[in-house]
Structure 1
């Protein structure tokens, strides 16, 4: 199937022939569906921290967080193209209500003054210029080029001292909870074509924010690794070839970022999407619950380490085994396979050790208000155990009425609000790719050069890429979830000055 030239290209990509063969088999056979048992709900896989205890949780976090290496990890490589879908359509003469709202409230956008200046350079007044001229000035290279920039570089929020981008909002937010003795470490994943712009933005603004917030920022960037790109195939599952005869590889989705996360040197890592930011007057609740998630993780991690110590010896008592069994079931929501009671003591001990000695994540979950995307579920794993998973609709067999019904019972939604513990009890880093589910992924249909093709995405970063982690779900308020999916989302009160 592969020529010598193909093999050289695969190796240059950083991949192996075995990996590519596996990917092609996934195209042929598809990915197995995940079997969900039930939705995780408050009191049944989902923790609700009483409001009266919030101060206690945040105080405990503040007391101990300086003892740990902290990091804020922000996936920021995606282009903002979909944000402007209705405006691109309007550029082609297909206006809708969203376009009308955009123009009716144009002065309310944080990028208004920049747009006004670009039009002025062309000799146009923003108030009298026709719609096509305004859209070109906003979306294309003739102006601000917002249609091809990543969200992180767009101006989202207005302030008296000037507008802020999401990158800047993450600096301000990170200073409040990813602050270890005055050092705030933040890592952005970026696309190579925009890396220089991110660098410039940080260089231009970092000093001002350090002076204002009285912290030192350590800002890092990384790009999605070429080796994680997946091969594309024709509709008959044979390798798709570019016009020059080379194989076509495509980025494999945000699940590939598990490799970037694996390179992070930190004890605790907070993960949040680039577009989920709010102005300063709304940050307090977000900061409170970030500290709550951190406290839950540190408390649980201490218990994990203690139980691992108890199970480390040669002669482990039945009492210890019973204690560990209760902890796994009640605290970590990990249920053993059905035949577990028939296992020998040695088999049970091996099972307990494996389940305890894994990376841990605590995931905030908001009440489901109809947003598309994943939610918290109890799901069956390949080893027969049941645990908590963040599940997307694409992972479910929607032709199965029972599975479809179970998926639709979700009371909560995944806003991508995680804190992760990446080290074992000896302080050593876990090798995170070893804890992904290679049988989770997505097949999508695309086209190139006028030809249809099939592409493959790796399991999502918080889905299959973290499938074999210890997982805890905690309810967080809906106000902590304010993503910007369309440009008009910036007109919502949560993104406008108070």
Structure 2
């Protein structure tokens, strides 16, 4: 199937023939659907924090920071902003081919809102100046054209992280800057250092670095912190091969193999390269202006406090299970550890795993306790798209809490679809992770993924149909074998920008 030239191409990408053959086999066999038992809910898998618990967990986290733990904030920021402007791209094409601007405005409500309220956008003044520089009138067509194209602001080709989102008295802020300002409030260590890591696309890293060079010192002075900012790119070795509809390798016009990015699940490798005691994860577009940041900051600290509370108990069990021989552990300790695992860490054994033999129980507990820990914020379901919190069956027949995407569920199973429809919460991508064991040693996160949770989609290239494969998602399959806790967070902590007009919402003004 593969020529020597193919093998060299694969090798140069940091991959190997065995991995590529495994990917092709998955195209042929498909991925199994995940079996969900029921939706997680408050009191049944989702922790609810009243004001007393909220403040207690905030104080727990702050005390741990003072005592020396090192936090870090991880932000996936490689996504292009082009999808934000879908309606504007379509309007521009219609203006250039078949319709007048007046007709487009009459027929397209999203474009009309954009034009009618354009002065509210943080990028408006810069856009206006760019049009004026070229001595053109500020018409609807020019506004859209100069916003998206290279002759103007080039927003149609930039990543979300570099767009101007919010207006302040003397400055306009990008999401990149908002994450710095936000991180300074909860990801600061005892020495005042704030560590943030952004995953970016290769073609945009220089632009991020240039912006950082320009703003770093002013933000450090304003916020009384020191920033340590790092960047990484999705590794070519995590790209997946594309195939045609017959599951044969898809080839470019020059005969070379086509590889495609493996989705955000590939970022587990980037996350695995980082060293920190606590890692916060949040998407690039989920930011708000300073006046609305308090709730986000409080709940980030509180989620970290919840993690530290459970981690303290986990470390005690880890130490006993790792440093003592099964003979030295009494039944009472093992029963206590089994109870905590099932009722606090939400991992229920299969019936066959209610071990009566001491050594069997010991090995089961040792495996389940020696895993990374994450606390995932969950928002009440108000119709937003995205995955949600469920009790799901794992490959080893245990049942545990999992973040589940709709694509993982059998669309032909009425029973499974009914369970999905009863979800009370959804996943806003608001995670706090503990990636070290009781000795302070880092886990190899690549050992805790579930390779069977990938996804196949139909795409096209140069007019030809193909099939693409995504790796297990970062917060579902890539973290499938972590110990997982869910905690409810308020809707005001979730303010993503999926279309440009979302910036007109009150939360972004």
Give TM class, smaller chain: over 0.9
3-state SS of 2:184 partner:
helix
The one of 230, 246, 252 equivalent to 1:242 is 252
Q: Deviations over 1:218-273 (max 9, x none)?
A: 00000000000000000000000001101000101000000000000111100000
Instruction: Tell me if the contact between 1:437 and 1:459 (Cα under 8 Å) persists in the aligned partners.
Output: yes
Q: Which residue of 1 aligns with 2:158?
A: 149
Q: Which residue of 1 aligns with 2:109?
A: 97
The one of 153, 163, 179 equivalent to 1:170 is 179
Gaps (5+ residues) in structure 2?
95-103
Q: How far did 1:344 drift?
A: 2.5
Instruction: Tell me if the contact between 1:310 and 1:320 (Cα under 8 Å) persists in the aligned partners.
Output: no
Q: Which residue of 2 aligns with 1:44?
A: 44
Q: Deviations over 1:177-213 (max 9, x none)?
A: 0000200000000000001100011000010000000
3-state SS of 2:433 partner:
strand
Task: Identify the range of structure 1 (334-343 vs 217-226) with the bigger mean alpha-carbon deviation.
Answer: 334-343
CA distance in 2, matches of 1:282, 1:124: 38
Task: Identify the range of structure 1 (311-320 vs 277-286) with the bigger mean alpha-carbon deviation.
Answer: 311-320
Q: Which residue of 2 aligns with 1:29?
A: 29
3-state SS of 1:220 partner:
strand
Q: Which residue of 2 aligns with 1:435?
A: 448
Give the alignment's Cα RMSD to 1 decimal: 0.9
CA distance in 2, matches of 1:340, 1:256: 32
CA distance in 1, matches of 2:60, 2:373: 19
3-state SS of 1:378 partner:
strand
Q: Deviations over 1:348-403 (max 9, x none)?
A: 11110010000110000000011111000000000010110000000000210000
Q: Which residue of 1 aligns with 2:430?
A: 417
Instruction: Tell me if the contact between 2:448 and 2:480 (Cα under 8 Å) persists in the aligned partners.
Output: yes
3-state SS of 1:143 partner:
coil
CA distance in 1, matches of 2:55, 2:312: 21
Q: Which residue of 2 aligns with 1:68?
A: 69
Q: How far did 1:161 drift?
A: 1.3
Instruction: Tell me if the contact between 1:10 and 1:17 (Cα under 8 Å) persists in the aligned partners.
Output: yes
Matches for 1:74-153 after TM superposition, within 5 Å: 74-93=75-94, 95=105, 96-125=108-137, 129-153=138-162
CA distance in 2, matches of 1:63, 1:347: 38
Q: How far did 1:82 drift?
A: 0.5
Instruction: Tell me if the contact between 1:297 and 1:421 (Cα under 8 Å) persists in the aligned partners.
Output: yes
Q: How far did 1:341 drift?
A: 2.6
Q: How far did 1:31 drift?
A: 0.3
Q: Which residue of 1 aligns with 2:229?
A: 219
Instruction: Tell me if the contact between 2:375 and 2:487 (Cα under 8 Å) persists in the aligned partners.
Output: yes
Q: How far did 1:450 drift?
A: 1.3
Q: How far did 1:34 drift?
A: 0.4
Q: How far did 1:311 drift?
A: 2.2
Instruction: Tell me if the contact between 2:7 and 2:17 (Cα under 8 Å) persists in the aligned partners.
Output: yes
CA distance in 2, matches of 1:356, 1:310: 11
CA distance in 2, matches of 1:395, 1:55: 36
Q: Is 2:383 the counterpart of 1:373?
A: no
CA distance in 2, matches of 1:57, 1:100: 46
3-state SS of 2:254 partner:
coil
Show structure 1 runs of 4+ deviating over 4 A.
none
Q: Which residue of 1 aligns with 2:476?
A: 463
Q: Is 2:490 the counterpart of 1:480?
A: no
Normalised by the length of structure 2, the TM-score is 0.96
Q: Deviations over 1:105-150 (max 9, x none)?
A: 000000001100110111024xxx2221111100011110101100
3-state SS of 1:311 partner:
helix
Q: Which residue of 1 aligns with 2:101?
A: none
Instruction: Tell me if the contact between 1:174 and 1:186 (Cα under 8 Å) persists in the aligned partners.
Output: yes
The one of 271, 283, 286 equivalent to 1:273 is 283
Q: Deviations over 1:325-349 (max 9, x none)?
A: 1101111100011212355321211
Q: How far did 1:73 drift?
A: 0.3
CA distance in 1, matches of 2:79, 2:353: 44
Gaps (5+ residues) in structure 1?
none
Q: How far did 1:56 drift?
A: 2.1
CA distance in 1, matches of 2:46, 2:504: 32
Task: Identify the range of structure 1 (56-65 vs 199-208) with the bigger mean alpha-carbon deviation.
Answer: 56-65
Q: Is 2:358 the counterpart of 1:345?
A: yes
Instruction: Tell me if the contact between 2:59 and 2:305 (Cα under 8 Å) persists in the aligned partners.
Output: no
CA distance in 2, matches of 1:328, 1:351: 11
Instruction: Tell me if the contact between 1:297 and 1:360 (Cα under 8 Å) persists in the aligned partners.
Output: yes
Instruction: Tell me if the contact between 2:55 and 2:302 (Cα under 8 Å) persists in the aligned partners.
Output: no
3-state SS of 2:165 partner:
coil
Give the number of aligned pairs: 493
Q: Which residue of 1 aligns with 2:333?
A: 320
Q: Which residue of 2 aligns with 1:18?
A: 18
Q: How far did 1:52 drift?
A: 2.7
Q: Which residue of 1 aligns with 2:97?
A: none
